[in-house]
Amino acid sequence: MKKAGRQRQIQQIIEENDVERQDDLVNLLAQAGIQVTQATISRDIKEMKLIKVPSTHGGYHYSLPNHHQEDREVQLEATIKSNLVELKRSDRMVGLMMQPGHGPLMALLVNSLKFPEVFMAIGDDASVLVVCQSTEAAKKFEMRIEEMR
């Protein structure tokens, strides 16, 4: 696997797991079918400018630099302002109707920003289904999106 693909996989792993050590990252990559050495991971960590942040359960884990999070928030707001056609809420679900071609990006942004009220977002070409943790969480997420419009 090329470096860019491996680094995308690393990004996905650290977004989905609290990775505390380089060895943990090597093992998680191996589970994904990517064999690498600890030295390679060390170089990737430097190139990706990963940082260690406090974990909720104590200790520290790898994370992307904060500006990456801010970039995604800016991108989400821009995507909403220019491509959100309609927003609907029903119980725990929020439906986002997008301009054609923008559903996958919107779902990716919602999932990557890890909103506490969101369980999961699934997108196709022009729509996104956001499943929230509860009805109240769906209302909160709807208000959050409306504020960005």
Is residue 66 pLDDT above 70, yes or no? Answer: no
Mean pLDDT of the chain: 91
CA 147/CA 34 separation, integer angstroms: 41
Mean pLDDT across 56-67 = 78
Distances (CA, A) of 9 to 31, 70, 102: 11, 21, 23
Domains and CATH numbers, the chain: 3-64 (1.10.10.10), 67-148 (3.30.1360.40)
Mean pLDDT across 56-64 = 82
Percentage above 70 pLDDT, the chain: 97
Per-residue pLDDT, 68: 58
Is residue 67 pLDDT above 80, yes or no? Answer: no
Q: How far apart are the first and last CA of the chain?
A: 40
Both tokens assigned to 137: 């969480």
